[in-house]
Amino acid sequence: MPSVKRRASKILNEYGDAQAELIGKAVVLTDGKAGAVEDVCLDELHGLRISIKGHDGRWPVSTIKFVES
């Protein structure tokens, strides 16, 4: 497999792992919004972003903190 395809495959695998790890998890954003992660998407300008159930918008993964049980 050519180098470019191998790197793209690694990115997609990591994206899938991030979705599996984040979707359904309870999080709190640094601005105080809280809820369960509903969706994970890739933004070409900002990277990995999440949607939170009950809140409009998408936020960078760097703004979340996991809720401790």
What's 21's domain CATH number? 2.30.30
How many structural domains are present in the chain? 1
CA distances from 47 to 13, 27, 37, 39, 41 (A): 15, 18, 16, 14, 8
Residue 44 pLDDT > 70, yes or no? yes
Domain that holds residue 53: 3-66
C-alpha 69/C-alpha 57 separation (Å) is: 26
Q: What is the mean pLDDT of residues 12-20?
A: 91
Q: What is the mean pLDDT of residues 9-35?
A: 90
Give me the percent of the chain exceeding a pLDDT of 90.
Answer: 41
Looking at residue 53, what is its pLDDT? 93
Q: Is the distance from CB of 61 to CB of 29 less than 8 angstroms?
A: no
